[in-house]
Structure 1
Amino acid sequence: MRATVLALIAGLLLAACGSPPKPPEAEPEAPPPAPVAEEAPKFKNSTLKYLANRNLKPQPTRPLNVRSRCTHRDAIGTATRLNLLVKEAEVKNFDAQVSIKGRGVCNFNIKDFAQDAKLPQVLLRHKKESNCTVRMWEQGKEVTIAFNSCPQSCEGKAFDYLWPVVVDAKTGRCH
């Protein structure tokens, strides 16, 4: 038994004197993955598909300047009368009357409103009814005047049928 232990120790010593095993060779580094061409996003909604291929740019933010003294009657008989003056986003004059055939009349006047904001949109807030607001913004060659939560400015249910007033920024004509 003693001879076996000695033989084992001698074998271990011989093994320790030998050269260490070579480490495995490093595999050549794989080239970086080729750039994948980005696919256009897939849209479920047909409107988004249409907009994805358009070259749309944000509307510039600049002070609104518009002057309008106009009257307009549309195909269904809605009559609009507007007197508006906005200089450098400051509303100087605003008087709008929209008569909706068979529904009633809506009246908006600057004396009933206070200006809350100039940019990015002109915002007028009713002095007594804080939910009632009038917003004005430029969109291309037109200025839109939109009325929100203002049924007290209209007769009966006329406000339910009130659409924004659109004005040509250069000529001042109502649409």
Structure 2
Amino acid sequence: MLAGLLALPGCTPVQELAKRAPSLPPAAPERQVTPAPPPPIPSRVIELAGYCSRTEDDGFREEARVRVAANEVQALNWKLWVPRRRGSCAFDLSEFRQVQKAPHIELVARDDSGCKLMVWQDPRRVTLAHANCQKRCTPGIYEEAWPVMFDPASGMCAQVK
């Protein structure tokens, strides 16, 4: 019976239809979008007598004191604690030397460990951040050690929400 159906006029086997069907153009390859690099940090004169002490809802805690006059760091003591007693990180100005004033402030560890502290200001806050400072933290917590941010007007902890 199948042979009879295939022999009917106007009936074409499925394989034949597939051969005759117009082919769709190939799908365009996905474009790789490379994110634009962040804009350069604008050079600003930083004046700050900062003190930030707070505990977040998740238990992360920080306490930082920093004094900067005309982009010269005069005092710095910063400690942060990761929740559930997992550990802490500590930074003190006596262990660093300032190597850059603009466009952002940069301090490097005197022990040649590669640890850097950076301070910069945007319109809403002054940020104190670290890079390559695993040796100043309890092992295993460095990835959770975030920067501290100050309100440039009050010197207190900046609101990050």
TM value normalised by structure 2: 0.70
| Paired AA for residue 66 in structure 1 | L
Aligned to 2:147: 164
Aligned to 1:66: 48
Q: Which runs of 5+ in 1 are unaligned?
A: 1-42, 49-56
Aligned to 1:149: 132
Shift of 1:75: 1.8
SS of match in other structure, 2:143: helix
Q: Which runs of 5+ in 2 are unaligned?
A: 1-30
TM value normalised by structure 1: 0.65
Identify the match of residue 117 of structure 2 among 117, 134, 140: 134
SS of match in other structure, 1:131: coil
| Paired AA for residue 114 in structure 1 | R
Q: Deviations for 1:116-173, whole angstroms, at most 9, x for unmatched residues?
A: 1000110010000341000000011201111100011111222121111111111112
Q: Deviations for 1:79-115, whole angstroms, at most 9, x for unmatched residues?
A: 1101110000000000001011132011000000000
More helix by share: 1
2-structure distance, mates of 1:131, 1:71: 27
1:173 equivalent in alignment to 2:156: yes
Rg comparison, structure with higher value: 1
1-structure distance, mates of 2:148, 2:43: 21
| Paired AA for residue 93 in structure 1 | A
Identify the match of residue 57 of structure 2 among 72, 75, 79: 75
1:101 equivalent in alignment to 2:83: yes
Does the CA contact (< 8 Å) of 1:125 and 1:131 recur in 2?
A: yes
Does the CA contact (< 8 Å) of 2:47 and 2:68 recur in 1?
A: yes
| Paired AA for residue 50 in structure 2 | S
Alpha carbons of structure 1 residues 75 and 129: separation in structure 2 relative to 1, 3 Å: farther
Count of residue pairs brought into register by the alignment: 125
SS of match in other structure, 1:160: helix
Q: CA RMSD in A?
A: 2.2
Aligned to 1:84: 66
Aligned to 1:24: none
Does the CA contact (< 8 Å) of 1:82 and 1:96 recur in 2?
A: yes
| Paired AA for residue 148 in structure 2 | V
Shift of 1:62: 2.3
| Paired AA for residue 94 in structure 1 | L
1-structure distance, mates of 2:118, 2:51: 18
Shift of 1:73: 1.1
